[in-house]
């Protein structure tokens, strides 16, 4: 005899038409519509990533009168007035942009994570795309946030558009929106496998087999399209590091520290996001933050932008110990204050940079007692640990770091070890990831319950 729980599941499954389920084979009634939507989502996201990346480069080059891809070098040679003028311009653009975006939608903007879990994947198209463009412009001007938020948002909106066109169900739309967001990540950084895993592990929160193929397909199409224009090369150039007993022991010791630090970072970002300015304060708050940021950048230009340039230097051991200590405080503080001012932007690269700085500082301390390990390896492992702990996506964090550096076996063992320990520590303290910053405590609890409940197709398989 069936239990009451099994009968309830059977009743729930019977209420869902087969055409509304996630297609697991090409024989599924909705397979053609779903895969067509996935194809066009990938193509559109790849094109969007190209346009947004080029916009970022144009803004950065003209604002800082330097390299379109290296804001650190340009800022180091800029005058004091350019620092102040560019960051005040970022403040004005942020303030006016927020007012305009508010008027583009009658309701509040919907975060991608909230849309997937609580709104059937639906997001306001104009406001979300406008936020994506605004974030790229202000990051190019030097705001201390990530650039991946823009292509991630664009991918989610394209998924919405093609879900409407193909009349997909809410379950199908939720998956496709997550795939579009991951495809945006993959196309922006040239990391198709990491983007697909990010879509499933971080955005959708499930690694079910039937989700894997759509995520891989959308990410590879988007990344392939972006490679027609954007460089097919690692984001970070690092030497071939070798593991050792010293590195393994360091990973075991530092893993819990990185986990606790990640919890503190996530809570800082959540506080900043919950306290974004409202009303007329949207025009004032950015100037209060970004004016001093421009002045501070005269002495510490590394705090500008998403942090990619300083991470590259830390990975190759080119940052002095005292500067590492200063940036470990200043860079996360700059990111938090920029978000507090109302500026939109991504959190992936700033989190990676914070982890690299933490790993660099703790690695320098370790080397006093057990020398011989390249300092860049500690920074690389710290970056992986903080990415895994802040996103609570350990698998995607490991794969993303391997794709971003173009390396695999040289540091895989200590990387896996520190990511697992840091993520487990963070999860034990804080259920919220960096991408849940806009969710209330009640929504986080609800999402945890939803994540633990098997979906309709799991009911059908029993």
Query: Is residue 89 pLDDT above 50, yes or no?
Result: yes
Decide if 125 contacts 157 (C-beta within 8 A): yes
**Rounded percentage of the chain residues whose pLDDT exceeds 90:** 71
Mean of pLDDT values over 308-317: 95
Question: What does the DSSP 8-state code read for residue 219?
Answer: H
Decide if 218 contacts 182 (C-beta within 8 A): yes
Q: Is residue 415 part of a domain?
A: yes
Q: Is residue 22 part of a domain?
A: no
pLDDT attached to residue 11: 44
On whether both 113 and 249 belong to a single domain, the answer is no
On whether both 227 and 268 belong to a single domain, the answer is no
Residue in 277, 276, 275, 328 with CA at minimum distance from that of residue 300: 328
- Sign of the Cα torsion 243, 248, 249, 253 reads positive
> Alpha-carbon distance 53 to 46, whole Å?
11
pLDDT attached to residue 25: 77
Which of the two residues, 362 and 462, has the higher pLDDT score? Answer: 362
pLDDT attached to residue 110: 77
- Mean pLDDT of all residues belonging to the chain: 89
pLDDT attached to residue 440: 78
On whether both 341 and 375 belong to a single domain, the answer is yes
> Alpha-carbon distance 7 to 68, whole Å?
61
On whether both 90 and 149 belong to a single domain, the answer is yes
Structure tokens, 334: 């700059």
Query: What does the longest C-alpha to C-alpha distance in the chain come to?
Result: 79
Query: Is residue 4 pLDDT above 50, yes or no?
Result: no
Q: Which of 6-10, 31-35, 71-75, 179-183 has the lowest mean pLDDT?
A: 6-10
Q: Is residue 444 part of a domain?
A: yes
On whether both 364 and 332 belong to a single domain, the answer is yes
Domain edge (last residue) among 182, 205, 234: 234
Domain edge (last residue) among 197, 215, 234: 234
At 179-205, the pLDDT tens digits run 999 999 999 999 999 999 999 999 988
Mean of pLDDT values over 91-116: 83
Rounded (5°) CA angle 389-259-202 = 10
CATH value at residue 216? 1.10.3080.10
In the numeric block, the tokens 């939507």 are attached to 37
Q: Is residue 194 part of a domain?
A: yes
Domain edge (last residue) among 234, 258, 276: 234
Question: What does the DSSP 8-state code read for residue 434?
Answer: G
pLDDT attached to residue 107: 52
pLDDT attached to residue 74: 87
Q: Which domain holds residue 318?
A: 245-448
Helix/strand/coil for 454:
coil
On whether both 269 and 199 belong to a single domain, the answer is no
Helix/strand/coil for 43:
helix
> Alpha-carbon distance 50 to 223, whole Å?
10
Q: Is residue 283 part of a domain?
A: yes
Q: Is residue 454 part of a domain?
A: no
Considering its fold, how many domains does the chain have in total?
A: 2
> Alpha-carbon distance 138 to 152, whole Å?
16
On whether both 258 and 147 belong to a single domain, the answer is no
Q: Where are the beta strands (DSSP E) in 33-158?
A: none
pLDDT attached to residue 1: 42
- What are the residues whose beta carbons fall under 8 Å from the beta carbon of 440, sequence distance 6 or more? none
Question: What does the DSSP 8-state code read for residue 436?
Answer: G
pLDDT attached to residue 16: 57
On whether both 206 and 259 belong to a single domain, the answer is no
Q: 121 vs 48, 217, 253, 259, CA distance in Å? A: 19, 19, 40, 30
Q: Is residue 118 part of a domain?
A: yes
On whether both 200 and 83 belong to a single domain, the answer is yes
At 244-261, the pLDDT tens digits run 999 999 999 999 999 999
pLDDT attached to residue 453: 63
Q: Which of 9-13, 153-157, 446-450 has the lowest mean pLDDT?
A: 9-13
Cα distance between the two ends of the chain: 14
On whether both 294 and 334 belong to a single domain, the answer is yes
Query: Is residue 40 pLDDT above 70, yes or no?
Result: yes
* Rg (the chain; Cα; Å): 22
5-31 burial code (b ≥16 CB/10 A, e <16): eeeebeeebeebeebebbbeeeebebe
On whether both 178 and 280 belong to a single domain, the answer is no
At 380-425, the pLDDT tens digits run 999 999 999 999 999 999 999 999 999 877 789 999 999 999 999 9
On whether both 190 and 334 belong to a single domain, the answer is no
Q: Is residue 457 part of a domain?
A: no
- Sign of the Cα torsion 144, 147, 148, 153 reads positive
As separate numbers, helices (DSSP H) first and strands (DSSP E) second, the chain gives 20, 0
Query: Is residue 13 pLDDT above 70, yes or no?
Result: no
Local confidence band at 10 (pLDDT 50, 70, 90 cut-offs): very low
């Amino acid at each position: 005899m069936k239990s009451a729980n099994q009968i309830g599941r059977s009743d729930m499954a019977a209420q869902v038409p087969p055409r509304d389920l996630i297609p697991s084979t090409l024989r599924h009634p909705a397979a053609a519509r779903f895969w067509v939507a996935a194809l066009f989502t990938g193509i559109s996201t790849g094109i969007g990533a190209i346009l947004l990346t080029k916009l970022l480069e144009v803004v950065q080059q003209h604002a800082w009168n330097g390299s379109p891809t290296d804001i650190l070098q340009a800022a180091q040679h800029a005058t004091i007035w350019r620092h102040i003028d560019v960051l005040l311009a970022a403040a004005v653009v942020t303030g006016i942009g927020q007012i305009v975006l508010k008027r583009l939608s009658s309701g509040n903007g919907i975060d991608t994570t909230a849309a997937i879990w609580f709104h059937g994947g639906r997001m306001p198209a104009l406001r979300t795309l406008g936020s994506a463009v605004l974030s790229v412009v202000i990051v190019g001007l030097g705001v201390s946030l990530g650039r991946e938020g823009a292509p991630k948002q664009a991918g989610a909106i394209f998924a919405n558009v093609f879900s409407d066109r193909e009349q997909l169900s809410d379950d199908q739309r939720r998956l496709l929106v997550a795939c579009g967001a991951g495809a945006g990540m993959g196309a922006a950084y040239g990391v198709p496998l990491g983007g697909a895993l990010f879509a499933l592990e971080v955005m959708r929160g499930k690694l079910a087999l039937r989700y894997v193929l759509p995520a891989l397909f959308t990410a590879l199409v988007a990344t392939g399209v972006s490679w027609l224009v954007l460089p097919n090369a690692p984001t970070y150039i690092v030497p071939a590091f070798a593991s050792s007993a010293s590195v393994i022991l360091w990973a075991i010791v530092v893993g819990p520290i990185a986990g606790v630090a990640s919890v503190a970072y996530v809570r800082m970002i959540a506080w900043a996001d919950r306290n974004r300015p409202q009303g007329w304060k949207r025009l004032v708050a950015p100037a209060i933050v970004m004016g001093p940021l421009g002045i501070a950048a005269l002495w510490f230009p590394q705090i500008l932008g998403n942090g990619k340039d300083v991470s590259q230097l830390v990975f190759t051991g080119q940052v002095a110990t005292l500067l590492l200590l200063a940036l470990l405080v200043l860079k996360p503080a700059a990111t938090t204050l920029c978000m507090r001012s109302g500026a939109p932007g991504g959190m992936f690269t700033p989190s990676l940079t914070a982890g690299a700085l933490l790993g660099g500082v703790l690695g320098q301390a370790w080397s006093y007692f057990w020398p011989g390990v390249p300092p860049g390896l500690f920074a690389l492992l710290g970056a992986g640990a903080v990415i895994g702990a802040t996103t609570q996506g350990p698998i995607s964090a490991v794969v993303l770091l391997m794709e971003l550096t173009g390396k695999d076996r040289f540091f895989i063992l200590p990387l896996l070890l520190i990511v697992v320990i840091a993520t487990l520590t963070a999860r034990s303290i804080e259920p919220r990831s960096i991408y849940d910053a806009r969710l209330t405590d009640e929504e986080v609890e609800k999402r945890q319950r939803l994540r633990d409940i098997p979906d309709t197709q799991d009911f059908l398989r029993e």
